[in-house]
Chain A
Amino acid sequence: MTITADDGDLELIAAAQQGERSALDVFVRRHQGWVRNVVYATVGNPSIVDDVVQHVWTIVWEKIGTLVDPARWRGWLYRMAKNAAIDAGLSRARERERRVEFSSIGSQESRTSDPAKALIDAEQHQQVLSAIMQLAEIYREPFILRHLNGWSYAEIGEAMSLPVDTVETRLVRARRLLRAALVNEVESRNR
């Protein structure tokens, strides 16, 4: 998935600015995926992502007339998604929920159900997710956008209004911190 502009994005935006709801519908279908991932990268809790995303598109519909430079629509849409997620006040809730989930991982070890592989996979997913969600936001966001959207450094930088070098540095540090967190988790379980 990329955010490279498909033909017609600017035309859709222009039409939406003139009040054509159908144009915005097409625009939503084109970009729903990565907007959803941006919200997810901020709130972390998948069960509330769709509600926030719906709110994002409502805001976009209300404010698309204020988009002065349509050529920079990606950064504008990214900020809409990001701000909606923050305004929802969900980041702190995410931290609390993830910490609870992280601390409860050990309690699942005693389970001996037959589909052990599925359970191991689920635990592994939880460990990795917990480690990702405990990254500082400046590292977590580009990491998630890279791994969910498959965006290049330049695409992440365009959306987040960051220099490519900064994106690269943050991804390097995200990987470093993630590795450390997972190593610590394994070591603490082996003690």
Chain B
Amino acid sequence: MNPNRDISFGADDHVERLIARHLDGEITPGQQAELDQILAGDPDARAMLSDYRQNDLFAARALRADIGQAGTTPVQHTPRNVWLVATGAVLAAAAVVALSFLPIFNPPADRLTNNVAPAFDMEPPVNRLRPTTISPRFVDYRNVDLYPRQQFSDVHRDLIGIRGPDPNVIFLFERETQATKVVPVSGDF
């Protein structure tokens, strides 16, 4: 498919423009009233609005998740991010201890007697985030000072750790209001 090909969907350009303005918060009260009237009588326009709204939501999520996973470039450590990493490590270690009591992380004896390595039953949700080589440099030393404050003002974050197939590796699940990140961490746990 030619990505530049222009395609019409039935509703005319004026309606499409009104829908875009509505979604982008650029619509005037008069235009909103006109759009409401059109939507009431035009199923094509309603379908377009629904599709565009959904695509906008998916696009914003996907873009944030995509660019949010970058960060392999080492950044200067500051007391603040060191504190974050240290807190994450403590939380992860505590989670590993707590999770080690669950049956899933204590395989039956027959599996061990057959020289089968304990299975890693919980795959990280997004495998492509896992680097091919695990080393401490992949720890996400996110320097919050390099990001605009407003990005963090309403973000709630917590961390849990899941032990990986390598006994020296745990996966940190960092949950925020917008996305869940999986960050492999290696070290002497």
Contacts and interface: CB of A to CB of B under 8 A. Distances in A.
Contacts, number: 126
Contacts of A1: 148, 150-151
Nearest to A33: B148
A42 interface: no
Interface stretch (A12-20, A83-91, A127-135): A127-135
A125 B62 contact: yes
Given A50-B70, A122-B128, A148 B3 contact: no
Contacts of A124: 58, 62
Interface in B150-168: 150-151
A71 interface: no
Given A49-B67, A136-B4, A181-B3, A30 B62 contact: no
B21 interface: yes
B110 interface: no
Contacts of B68: 46
Interface residues of A, number: 53
B76 to A, nearest CB: 11
A175 interface: yes
B168 to A, nearest CB: 24
A47 B72 contact: yes
Interface in A107-142: 113-115, 118-119, 121-122, 124-126, 128-129, 132, 134-136
A82 B104 CA distance: 49
B17 A172 contact: yes
A29 B145 contact: yes
A128 B71 contact: no
B52 interface: yes
B137 interface: no
A144 interface: yes
Nearest to A153: B26
Interface in A45-97: 46-51, 54
Nearest to A139: B4
A166 interface: no
B127 to A, nearest CB: 8
Contact of B24 (A34, A134, A146): A146
Interface stretch (B5-13, B38-46, B91-99, B111-119): B5-13
Nearest to B75: A50
A178 interface: yes
Contacts of B4: 136, 177
Contact of A33 (B7, B62, B66, B147): B147
Given A115-B125, A176-B16, A125 B24 contact: no
Nearest to A50: B73
30 contacts: A1-B148, A1-B150, A40-B63, A46-B69, A47-B72, A51-B73, A114-B123, A118-B126, A122-B126, A122-B128, A128-B59, A128-B62, A132-B59, A134-B3, A136-B3, A147-B56, A148-B63, A152-B25, A153-B26, A168-B26, A175-B55, A176-B6, A176-B8, A176-B9, A176-B16, A177-B4, A177-B6, A178-B59, A179-B48, A184-B1
Interface of B: 1, 3-9, 13, 16-17, 20-21, 24-26, 48, 51-52, 55-56, 58-73, 122-123, 125-126, 128, 145-148, 150-151
Interface of A: 1, 28-30, 32-34, 36-37, 40, 46-51, 54, 113-115, 118-119, 121-122, 124-126, 128-129, 132, 134-136, 143-144, 146-148, 152-153, 168, 171-173, 175-182, 184
